[in-house]
Chains A and B, each alone.
Chain A
Amino acid sequence: MAEIVDVRRSILEANEAAATQVRGQLARALVVNLISSPGSGKTSLLEATMPAIKDSLSLAVIEGDIATDRDAQRLRALGVPAVQILTGGACHLDARQVLKVLAEGHFQAPDVLFIENVGNLICPTSYDLGEDFKVALLSVTEGDDKPFKYPAIFATAQVTVITKVDLLPYVTFDLDAVKAQMRSLNPTGSILLTSARTGQGLDQWIGMLRSSLDAKRRAPA
């Protein structure tokens, strides 16, 4: 007779424990986890954001990629400390990798830490990195059916950014269809429209970041 042992433990418990430690270490920083498919414009949105806020807020970026430190270089070129995590093929960042970067002391506790996840709409969704919220990016060239095709990320992200809206005149992308899917998947989430090319929507995006940081710092610990 086999012995039955009740376990009831989260499969991701090791990641979750690390995420809790990240939260503890960055209790006064806003931590944003950016998730999208490759090429949706995560790095471009960060590049467009930096000049507008780097004088008033201290910033840091963690870049997750399978290979190359190109994205970290793009941000360092703007004078922002950016650390590249190379996952060597892994499809998502893990909180233990974030914890390791924090321990290496590349930057002082920032006001805002952006974590650009590995380009993938699926796997990063389940891994809490200690962020305050996830941001899902969807570029208008990817098609307006993506929220229902990748429900987990669009249901989980507190903010969805529709990127590259400067290209709307050239593509078939029904914004109302996206909003309808989002109402169902994520009724309390917000949707922003941005273009890193023209700067459209960046004020709202930055306003959202600032008010989230303020709200976090005002909230009782």
Chain B
Amino acid sequence: MHELGVAMEIYRISRDAVAGHGAGRLESVRVAVGELRAVDPELIKFAWQATVAGGPDAGSELIVDWHPAVQRCETCGADKARDTAGWLPLCPDCASPLRVDGGLELDVLQVSYLREEEERAVSGGVG
């Protein structure tokens, strides 16, 4: 529901991260998103396109590394397979209560940046 605000923060951080790198444009930004963070992986990509549209980074890609939460059994000490977005009430193997772990990621991991000079060099233009 608040994907647009999240996308704007990603954009601010990404631009800040390349601030000392000379003129250029973002090619892609890689983020980690955990299942329990209330950020939908598809909606956040739409929100990203809306955020960069019409600006110097229009067309850049947001790459989402999705991190599902896991349900772990303390008794058998293993992660239990669960359906997407479904939760197991008890351990299917030993009926113990399961612990929910992980799924809390929400980070900008990496920015791929195309500097203007390099782009000119690649396209064979003269400076």
Contacts and interface: CB of A to CB of B under 8 A. Distances in A.
A25 interface: no
A7 B2 contact: no
B interface secondary structure, majority: mixed
A15 to B, nearest CB: 8
Interface in B94-110: 97-100, 103, 106-110
B108 A155 contact: no
Contacts of B13: 7, 9, 11, 13
A4 interface: yes
A118 B89 CA distance: 29
Interface stretch (A72-80, A181-189, A193-201): A181-189
Contact of A120 (B1, B12, B28): B1
B27 A151 contact: no
Interface stretch (A43-51, A55-63, A121-129): A121-129
Nearest to A180: B89
A2 B26 CA distance: 9
Interface centre among B28, B90, B99 (most CB of A within 10 A): B99
Contacts of B107: 7-11
A3 B89 contact: no
Contacts of B69: 151
B118 interface: yes
A90 B8 CA distance: 14
A7 B106 contact: no
Interface residues of B, number: 41
B110 A155 contact: no
A12 interface: yes
Contacts, number: 107
B5 interface: yes
Q: What is the size category of the interface that chain A forms with chain B?
A: 20 to 34
A interface secondary structure, majority: mixed
Contact of B71 (A126, A180, A184): A184
Given A11-B10, A14-B9, A126-B106, A4 B71 contact: no
B36 interface: yes
Contacts of B75: none
Interface in B1-60: 1-2, 5-6, 9-10, 12-14, 17-18, 21, 27-28, 31, 36-39
Interface of B: 1-2, 5-6, 9-10, 12-14, 17-18, 21, 27-28, 31, 36-39, 69, 71, 87-90, 97-100, 103, 106-115, 118
Interface of A: 1-14, 90-92, 120, 122-123, 125-126, 148, 151-152, 155-156, 180-181, 183-187
7 contacts: A8-B108, A10-B108, A11-B10, A123-B2, A125-B36, A155-B100, A180-B90
